[in-house]
Amino acid sequence: MEIALIGLIGVLIGAGLTGIAVYFVFRYIDSRHIRERELEHQVKEIETINLLNKKINEVLSKRNVMMQEYVSFNSFDDCYITIDDFIYLNSFTAQNNFYLPNYLIEEFFKNISHRKVILSPEETVKIGGYTYKGGRIVMETFSEQLLEILNEKKQKLSRSTKQPLRYFNVQ
C-alpha cells in the first residue's frame, strides 16, 4: 500500500511538473508569435511610409517633365499634380491609413487643398491636373516629415531586435 501511495504521489508530481512545463512552453510560443506580429507591423508601417514618400517625390519631379504645360504657372513654388496622381494619393492614404500617421496626412491634404488654383474646366482638362500655388513647399515639407518619421521607426525597429536588420540597411 505504501509503495502504491508513493508511486501515485510521484505520478502526480510528474504530471504537475509536466503541466507547468507545457504552460511555460505555450506561453513562450505565444509571446514569440506576438513579437513577430509586432515586428511585421512595424516593417509594414516603414514600407508604407516609404512608398508614400516615393510617390510624393515622383509627383514633385513631374514639373521638369511637363514644363511645356507650365506656360501660365512660372512660379517655382507652384506644384502640378495630375488628377490621377491626386486620386492615387487619396486612395493610397485611405487604404493604408492604419499604417500612416493620420494627423500628418490630414494636415497635408488640408494645406494642399487650400492652395488649389481655380482654373476653367478647359484649362484643367488641357493640362490634365490641378495646380497648387505654393504647393511645392507643402509637399517638400510633408516629404521631410515622412522621412523623419521613417528614420525614427527604423531606429525603433533596430533597437527592438537583437539581430541586425539587413532589410532596411540599419545596423
Residue 137: closest CA among 111, 105, 155: 111
Residue 58: closest CA among 75, 79, 28: 79
Number of domains in the chain: 1
What gap in Å lies between CA 9 and CA 17, rounded to an integer? Answer: 12
Residue bearing cell 512660372:
74
Q: What is the pLDDT of residue 169?
A: 56
Q: What is the pLDDT of residue 12?
A: 94
Q: What is the pLDDT of residue 108?
A: 87
Amino acid at 37: R
Residue ranges making up the domain that contains 96: 2-160
Give the contacts of 146 (CB within 8 A, at least 6 positions apart): 49, 52, 53, 56, 104
Query: First and final CA of the chain: distance in angstroms?
Result: 66
Inside any domain, residue 61: yes
Q: What is the pLDDT of residue 86?
A: 82
What gap in Å lies between CA 82 and CA 92, rounded to an integer? Answer: 15
Residues with pLDDT less than 50, the chain: 71-72, 170-171
Inside any domain, residue 170: no
The alpha carbon torsion through 8, 11, 13, 16 (nearest 10 deg) reads -130
> Residue 159 in contact with residue 48, Cβ under 8 Å?
no
- Strand 79-82 versus strand 129-132 pairing type: antiparallel
Residue bearing cell 515586428:
39
Inside any domain, residue 171: no
Inside any domain, residue 165: no
Inside any domain, residue 107: yes
Q: What is the pLDDT of residue 73?
A: 52
Cα angle for residues 140, 104, 132 (degrees, 5° grid): 45
Inside any domain, residue 142: yes
Q: What is the pLDDT of residue 109?
A: 85
User: Which phi and psi (to 5°) does residue 170 adopt?
Assistant: -110, 130
Q: What is the pLDDT of residue 82?
A: 74
